[in-house]
Structure 1
């Protein structure tokens, strides 16, 4: 007899393409995942997965069952959230996605605090690019996406998705020690002809922002190394292979041999959270309230909240908002961008921006 737990495990493996990643998301061991798969294959009397390098791939039968399994997982998760919402509970699955550099500074302390306050909450986390994760948010496969928005390439969301800006930071040019630009007080973007670049993968917000920024200053970026991890980019810079543009928070993990030079004009990145306008559960509201609280308390030398720093009484009020009966701050209409916290609303960017 096929059990619900085995279908949930199989759906996670099918979605992630890895036993290890599925185990991490489900908070069980890799051998336990493999055991569930073997038992499920025995129950359905056919092979569902095959080895594919370090990961797995679905067989024809696996693809058929994966579609039904994912539908069942989504249906049950929705039912759990609806019941929790009915009683105002912060409980059940909370699925967070985002770009790694935006997740690093804020999300770990947020989830730690939420789990302590709400033991019945079941958060999961995965990193990737916004171009892949926003469709998952629309399909209700994720509850929130922590991503980025650049000053010269603002984030534009599809209808039904709203974003909340949390913090902003300047981005700087990273060059190898000994590079002709390393000792500059600042570097003009128009002076970057002929450099080899490392950047996030093609199609990512950071990659497209870099290309658009340099083209606006009549410079073409020759991107030779596309890697999603800023730390790897900085190691490529330290090796003298390329230059790159990185947000300030990334500097803390920089290897020796890298110099950072401010850009003129200044380049700024915002960290934002995208949520579905019609799917705000108590768990999502608690997550947003805690993200705002942590953003206000962030180290000013690294991150700057989108609002003046708050007094102790204001911070206590924000902490209270993350409790079981909290509501997030009011939101503008779906598809618009929230203004910086504590400021007057600004017009939403036009589609031509």
Structure 2
């Protein structure tokens, strides 16, 4: 008989296509995941994975078992949610996805307060972008997703996802302190042609919002510096290498050598938390309530 823990580990390996990535996602060591795989292959009586370049891929048998493992994992997660709802208990795992800027500034505050009130709660966090996190939410792999939506690139939610807005904020232009624009209080977006930009990587909400905001004023975005966090973006700006659009909460970071200008017309961003409509656990609902309080501080 196949062991549930090994099926759970195999489902993560199949999703990640990597033993190392699965180990990180499950908070296990790489040798522990490899051992689970070997034991599961003995139980199944066949090879489930095979080498593929520097990684691995599923065999035909592995693909069949992976589909079953995903289904079982989703069923167990649903059962856990239903049981928690019956007892209204705020315990067990709380799987959270979040954009990094929100994570740094108020998600951790909310979790600190929540775990102090409910010590049997075990939060786990995965940072990322809306395009990856929302599908995970719909599949039951995440209980809540803290996301961003830009005025120039609004996030589009599929059916079955409920949004609770946490904050709205202005986005400003960050320039080096010695930049020709640095003495101004504001700048029209149409004046920003020919500048070099720092932003998050292509495909992220921030990057696409930058491109669309500039394009709306017939300006091409020359993004030479693509990094994943605003601390690095601001370091690039301070070094005089580029300019950037920076949302309000990220402006709390210490950034000597950076000046902020208001944009005309206004560029804005909102931060919200997404949960499964009608299917949230007590822990997820408590998390949303704590997020609302933390974002308001």
TM-score > 0.5, shorter chain as reference = yes
Preserved contact between residue 74 and residue 139 of structure 2 (Cα < 8 Å): no
Q: Shift of residue 275 of structure 1?
A: 1.4
Deviations along 1:78-103, whole A, 9 cap, x unmatched? 11111111121223332211221122
* Equivalent in the alignment of 1:134: 134
Q: Shift of residue 47 of structure 1?
A: 5.0
Cα distance, 1:116–1:207 mapped onto 2, change above 3 Å = same
* Equivalent in the alignment of 1:46: 47
* Equivalent in the alignment of 2:2: 2
Query: In structure 2, what is the Cα distance between the partners aligned to 1:252 and 1:21?
Result: 32
Q: Which structure: greater helix fraction? A: 2
Over 6 Å off, 4+ runs: none
User: Please, which moves more after superposition, 122-131 or 197-206?
Assistant: 197-206
Query: In structure 1, what is the Cα distance between the partners aligned to 2:197 and 2:116?
Result: 43
Q: Shift of residue 33 of structure 1?
A: 2.9
Preserved contact between residue 148 and residue 272 of structure 1 (Cα < 8 Å): yes
Q: Shift of residue 73 of structure 1?
A: 1.0
What runs of 5+ residues in structure 2 fail to find an aligned partner? none
Q: Do residues 158 (structure 1) and 163 (structure 2) align?
A: no
Q: Shift of residue 246 of structure 1?
A: 1.2
TM-score where L is the length of structure 1: 0.74
Q: Shift of residue 24 of structure 1?
A: 4.4
Q: Shift of residue 245 of structure 1?
A: 0.6
Preserved contact between residue 151 and residue 268 of structure 2 (Cα < 8 Å): yes
SS at match of 1:212: helix
How many corresponding residue pairs?
A: 295
* Equivalent in the alignment of 2:187: 187
Cα distance, 1:166–1:240 mapped onto 2, change above 3 Å = same
Query: In structure 1, what is the Cα distance between the partners aligned to 2:50 and 2:179?
Result: 50
Query: In structure 2, what is the Cα distance between the partners aligned to 1:43 and 1:267?
Result: 57
Cα distance, 1:19–1:179 mapped onto 2, change above 3 Å = farther
Q: How does 1:78-89 map to 2 (within 5 A)?
A: 78-89=78-89
Preserved contact between residue 81 and residue 93 of structure 1 (Cα < 8 Å): no
SS at match of 1:97: strand
Cα distance, 1:63–1:127 mapped onto 2, change above 3 Å = farther
Preserved contact between residue 77 and residue 140 of structure 2 (Cα < 8 Å): no
Q: Shift of residue 174 of structure 1?
A: 1.9
Q: Shift of residue 215 of structure 1?
A: 2.5
Query: In structure 2, what is the Cα distance between the partners aligned to 1:289 and 1:138?
Result: 21
TM-score where L is the length of structure 2: 0.87
Cα distance, 1:118–1:170 mapped onto 2, change above 3 Å = same
The CA RMSD measured in Å over matched residues stands at 2.5
* Equivalent in the alignment of 2:243: 243
Q: Do residues 107 (structure 1) and 107 (structure 2) align?
A: yes
What runs of 5+ residues in structure 1 fail to find an aligned partner? 299-353
Preserved contact between residue 19 and residue 33 of structure 1 (Cα < 8 Å): yes
Query: In structure 1, what is the Cα distance between the partners aligned to 2:134 and 2:282?
Result: 21
